[in-house]
Each structure stands twice: as structure tokens, then as C-alpha cells.
Structure 1
Amino acid sequence: MTTNLETRWQTLDHEWQTVSRALEHALNTHHDLSLSEYRVLAALEAKHDHHHRMQVLADLAGLSQSATTRLVARLEAQDCGLLARYMCPTDRRGVYTEITPTGLAKLTRARQTVQDTLAGLWTGRDTPTPA
């Protein structure tokens, strides 16, 4: 028998999947970005100095360390140039990732698509709120 809490969770999970799929599609179609890539760019842009240690970035993006490393490598590639990595000057084991001006410009364009997509999904609808 399904409980009230489980029903709420299923509703929230369904909404999350619907929103994630819509954002993934819009970002891929209009900006050649995945939702995870967008999250990484947004997390870097949100920090006042626009950089994070790789482990912190992985946590913020909800990705594993290895997935974050691969994602950052893609966005750092010469033909993309949205991110740059560098070694921590005080801890040689630490690697930082920083959003570039090109990355900031792409994020700004993609953010409008995210806003438009969310508005389209939620116009006239209440979003589910957890108890």
C-alpha cells in the first residue's frame, strides 16, 4: 500500500524528471550543452571569484569526481574554451576550475533558455512542494 509520503515523493520525482528532460532537451538543442554542463557553469559563475576546487564543483553539480573531471575536460578543450583548470598555488594536489569569459557568455545565453523553458513548464501550474 502506497503511503502519503511515498505518493508525495513519487509526485516530486515525476516533476523533477519532467523538468530535467525539458531542460536537457532545450539546452542541447539551442546551446549544445547538457544539463550537467549548465550546472557546472552556473556553479562557477555564482562564486564571486568564478572558480572552485574540483571536489567542491563535483558536489555542487551532483556528479562523481571522475564524471566532473571528464565534463571539465570537455568544456576546457580548445574548440570549447568555456573553462580553464589550474593547480592550487598552496596545495599541489588541489586543482581548480574557473569559468572563462567565453563560458560566462555562453551561460548568459543558456540561462535565458532555462528561464523560458521553466516558464513554459510552470505557467499556470503550481510546483509541488515537499511537506
Structure 2
Amino acid sequence: MSNNSNLCTWLSMKNFENDIQTKLEKVLIKYDLSPVEFSFLHYLYDQYDSKASLLEIKDSLKLSSAAVSRMAVRLENKDCKPIIRYHNDDNKKEVCLKITDSGISHFKEAFQVVDSVLAESFGNQDFQALRDMILTTNIQQES
């Protein structure tokens, strides 16, 4: 079966992603963040003015509106108050979020740990083997 290599590659990618997700969950506990909440803060931090509408965040993180709204409430209620909610001056119906100074500081601390976990994960032999498997699968499909 020629698609067997595709299936093996996909399963390996899924397992690798699950392993990273588990590692990130463990290290982010110290920062009272989930990996998705970390991604949420990263998106806001990465914006030019450190703010975005709920719709922009929803589209960027590929989440439902309800999930983004719930996550915003959870982040607003955290001790370090990493975000604030406000209404757009031009469109009062549009809800926007801004990362606070304490949120930026909190994100930067967590980022150092996340970056270290990712560097370790991407530098290990399992990732190198997965990368080779992906490349081999792509080459086989082109032939």
C-alpha cells in the first residue's frame, strides 16, 4: 500500500505534537497558562500595538468565537491581569483585547521556557527522524 508511508508520517507527526503539547502543558503550569492561552498572549504580543479584536484572534488561532471569548475571560481573571478588554472607538460593537504591561512581562518569562522546550524537542533525534520521514514522503509522492 503506497499510502502507508503517508499514514506513518501523519501518525509520527501527531505523536510528536502530542509529546510537545504535554511538555508545554507541564512547564506552563508554573505561569498559570495553557498552551492555547500562551498562543493567545503571543498573538497579542506580536501585534504592532499589542491589541486585536476578538474576531482577529479567533481567525488567527483557528478557534470558535465562544472559545476565544471564554479564554479572554479566563485571562482577564488571572492574578497578573495579562489582558484588558475594551470596545473599539470606531465600532462600539467590536470587542478588542490589549495585552497589559504585566501581561507582556508574564509572556516574556513564559516564552523563555517555551522556547527552551521547543529548541530541545526540535533538536532531538526523534524530530530529525520525523523530518527525514516527511521529506522522504514528499520525494516519493513527487516521483
**2:67: which partner in 1?**
67
Amino acid at match of 1:109: E
Query: Partners in 2 of 1:49 and 1:83 — Cα distance?
Result: 13
**2:33: which partner in 1?**
33
SS at match of 1:48: coil
Matches within 5 A, 1:87-126: 87-125=87-125, 126=128
Greater Rg, structure 1 or structure 2?
2
Aligned residues: 130
Amino acid at match of 1:128: L
- Unmatched runs of 5 consecutive residues or more in structure 1: none
Amino acid at match of 1:4: S
Contact 2:80 2:106 in 1 (8 A): no
Contact 1:76 1:82 in 2 (8 A): yes
**1:12: which partner in 2?**
13
Matches within 5 A, 1:46-65: 46-65=46-65
**Offset of 1:44 from its aligned partner?**
0.5
Amino acid at match of 2:6: L
- Unmatched runs of 5 consecutive residues or more in structure 2: 139-143
Amino acid at match of 1:79: D
Contact 2:76 2:82 in 1 (8 A): yes
Query: Partners in 2 of 1:127 and 1:81 — Cα distance?
Result: 41
- Identity among equivalent positions (%) equals 25
Query: Partners in 2 of 1:81 and 1:112 — Cα distance?
Result: 20
Amino acid at match of 1:22: K
Deviations 1:29-73 (A, max 9, x none): x21111111000000011111111101112222322111111111
Contact 1:74 1:80 in 2 (8 A): no
Query: Partners in 1 of 2:25 and 2:109 — Cα distance?
Result: 15
SS at match of 1:128: helix
TM-score by length of 1: 0.88
